[in-house]
Amino acid sequence: AKAAGRGVHRFYSADMLAGARDRQQLEGDLRAALPAGEFNLCYQPVVRTVDAVVIGYEALIRWRHPVRGLVSPADFIPVAEECGLIGAIGEWVLRTACNEAARWPRDVRVAVNVSPVQFANPQLPGIVASALARSGLAPDRLELEITEGVFLKGSDSSDRMFAALKGLGVRLALDDFGTGYSSLGYLRTAPFDKIKIDQSFVRGAAQPGNRNAAIIRAIVMLADTLGMETTAEGVEIQDEIELVRSLGCSHIQGYVYGRPAPAAEVAAALGIDGRA
Ligand code: C2E
Ligand code: CA
Ligand code: CA
Ligand code: CA
């Protein structure tokens, strides 16, 4: 069970996904996965740069296919978004993450990824409110991670969604910053508490002459000015810790501090009983 959260196999290759029959099979398997209990969440620590204290965990979904083994979310989340399953899967993720995090110490947060498809659903604030109420998790312990993809849709509805979510008292993070449609305009009004700097900027940044460091520095300055925190993602080595610390990132996430691990392991690390 210990290995469950670790290696994720990309069994469905790009070639396979291109084939209509395999794609249909994947959709069918995905439809069955939720009722069959094939999903679970792993949690990766997020550390405060100044003192390396774990201030929270990001919930990351895992699918254990009965035949194919672990399937990467990078492979099945896009399919779930296209075939209308992301709503049910996303709701399960929210409920499960809130329930599990409610047992953690009060100063430990949980971050949950929210697909742009979920974000476009006017029922999302109600779903979040219900997950909080049922679990008893304080709203400010829940952080929703949203990608730039949400800004593709009309900005009027996204403004209303941001206001409704902030009205619940949850925190909002802008995920994978710099990789998407990167218009800076939305930073003017969208009420983010945090910018997550994508791991593609961290990769290689500690090597001399690498331009990624300059980009990270600029993102941190922008975030600081706007009163937002910054998490450097995908930090793998000590040199990268030191670099992003010197560039002023307030938080660090990556294999160097911990890989995604099942809830029971996180509970043990937090010194509590993993069982409810
Ligand atoms: P993400 O939100 O950017 O999550 C971070 C990904 O980077 C995770 O991959 C994590 O395991 C990986 N990672 C963390 N630290 C390191 C590191 O130091 N080095 C490297 N090379 N990788 C690192 P994972 O778990 O395979 O998830 C992939 C993506 O799938 C996520 O990217 C997110 O976009 C999506 N995803 C995962 N869980 C959910 C979910 O519950 N809901 C939705 N909508 N999307 C999810
Ligand atoms: Ca994320
Ligand atoms: Ca990310
Ligand atoms: Ca990503």
Confidence of residue 2 (pLDDT cuts 50, 70, 90): very low
pLDDT for position 1: 34
Check residue 151 and give its pLDDT.
Answer: 82
Q: What are the φ/ψ torsions at residue 211 (nearest 5 degrees)?
A: -80, -10
pTM above 0.90, yes or no: yes
Query: What percentage of the chain exceeds 70 in pLDDT?
Result: 90
Q: What is the band of 180 on the pLDDT scale with cuts at 50, 70, 90? A: confident
- Quickly state the pLDDT bin for 10 (edges 50, 70, 90): low
Q: Which pLDDT does position 157 carry in this prediction?
A: 84
- State the distance from the centre of ligand 3 to the C-alpha of 196, rounded, in angstroms: 6
The pairs formed by 118-121 with CB atoms below 8 angstroms and a separation of 24 or more are 118/86, 118/87, 118/90, 119/146, 119/150, 119/158, 119/161, 120/150, 120/153, 120/157, 121/87
ipTM higher than threshold 0.95: yes
Q: Which atom of ligand 1 is nearest to the CA of 233?
A: 15
Distance 147 CA to ligand 3 centre (A): 8
Cα-to-centroid distance, 33 and ligand 4 (Å): 23
Question: For residue range 53-98, what is the model confidence (pLDDT) as tens digits?
Answer: 999 999 999 999 999 999 999 999 999 999 999 999 999 999 999 9
Pocket test residue of 9, 34, 85, 113 for ligand 1, highest count of atoms within 8 A of CB? 113
Lowest mean pLDDT among 62-71, 164-173, 185-194: 185-194
pLDDT at residue 154, rounded to an integer: 64
pLDDT band with cut points at 50, 70 and 90 for residue 258:
very high
Q: Return the ligand 1 atom nearest residue 81 CA.
A: 44
pLDDT over threshold 60, residue 276: no
Q: Is pLDDT of 246 > 80?
A: yes
Pocket of ligand 1 (CB under 6 A): 8, 44, 60-61, 72-74, 77, 90, 93, 113, 115, 175-176, 199, 234-236, 254-255, 260
| Averaged pLDDT score across all residues of the chain | 91
Output the CA torsion 15→20→26→30 (10° steps).
140
Q: What is the predicted pLDDT for the residue at 98? A: 98
